[in-house]
Structure 1
Amino acid sequence: MKKVLSTTVVVLATFFSATALSEVAVVVHPSNDNALTKADVTRIFLGKKRAYPNGSEAIPVDQTDGSAVRTEFVHTMLKKNDQQLKAYWAQLLFTGKSTPPKDVGGSAEVKALIAKNPALIGYIDANQLDDSVRVVLRF
């Protein structure tokens, strides 16, 4: 019994360490030279800020609801869980104050869109980074 328990603990520890190793990167178009803080990114993704520090339009794009990268982003950057975020956006939509970022798919789709549009900002799995996007934050 002890051997089964210790094996289970080792397997779970390995799983959680591997999961914790994957990073999320907040990315913009390579020509976007704006420096962004965590607070800037949070405000953009919560619809409280609609422009980069230089005044150009900032358009956030989201990953599909339920993806591991989105869950990590929402929890770490926005300090909300999925239900809290849905309730937040429902209230803003109802009052007409803002609309949520468009869901565009996974990391590959987000990266491809951002590579074509300097106004977009999104987040991807850091393992998928390349020269088509520029990292502004990583966690």
Structure 2
Amino acid sequence: MKLLKLATVLGLVIFSMGSLADIAIITHPSNTNPLDQTAISKIFLGKVKSYPDGGTIIAINQLEGSPVRAAFDESVLGKSSSQIKSYWSKLMFTGKGTPPQEVQSDAEVKQLVAANPSIIGYVDASLVDDSVKVLLKF
């Protein structure tokens, strides 16, 4: 009986891992600034506010609690969503920063990024099209 329970739990873990979508970090198609994971992490943690060419960066987050946001926090920022929330709470309390604006959905992120070269965001990689440029996938 224990073996059956263990097999069931392992099956669920493997299934849930396989169902996690790839995350695409996106920007406007005209943006030529190369960014690696470290730079992207610094942008979304409020440590960097401009591109290497001097242009302003506007980071856009998905809603707290969304699966895409949780995957982004873990994969790109290397922290849990609760750790990120705590990080921003401390910065806001001390007046040293404000978190990126939150939007409702992948579609809204894509629409904002496609309309403004300063914006960087992330979406489910399966939803990327020609209206945006993929910087990295996780």
Distance 1:7 1:94, change over 3 A: closer
SS at match of 2:109: helix
Deviations 1:55-75 (A, max 9, x none): 100000000111111001001
Verify: 1:63 aligned to 2:62, yes or no.
Answer: yes
Percent identity over the alignment is 46
1:128 alignment counterpart: 127
In the aligned structure 2, how far is the partner of 1:89 from the partner of 1:6? 38
TM-score of the superposition, structure 1-length normalised?
A: 0.90
Deviations 1:56-110 (A, max 9, x none): 0000000011111100100111111121111111111111111100111111110
The one-letter code of the counterpart of 1:90 is S
Please list the CA deviations of residues 6-30 of structure 1 after superposition, one character each: whole Å capped at 9, or x if unmatched.
Answer: 873685266234324x200000001
Q: Map of 1:38-53 to 2, 5 A cutoff?
A: 38-53=37-52
Q: How does 1:69-84 map onto structure 2 within 5 Å? A: 69-84=68-83
TM-score using structure 2 length? 0.90
What residue identity is the alignment partner of 2:107?
A
Name structure 1 gaps, 5 residues minimum: none
SS in 1 for 2:78: coil
Amino acid in structure 1 at the alignment position of 2:78: K
Cα root mean square deviation, aligned = 1.9
**1:92-103 equivalences in 2 (<5 Å):** 92-103=91-102
Inter-CA distance 134–11: structure 2 relative to 1 (3 Å threshold): same
Change (3 A) 1:9 1:36: same
- Quick one: structure 1 residues 4 and 45, their matched pair in 2 at CA, closer, same or farther if it must change by over 3 Å? same
Q: Can you list the C-alpha shifts for 1:34-57, whole angstroms capped at 9, x where unaligned?
A: 100111100000000000111100
Aligned to 1:18: 18
Q: Which runs of 5+ in 2 are unaligned?
A: none
SS of the equivalent of 2:134 reads strand
Instruction: Give the paired residue count.
Output: 138
CA distance in structure 1 between the partners assigned to 2:62 and 2:132 by the alignment: 16
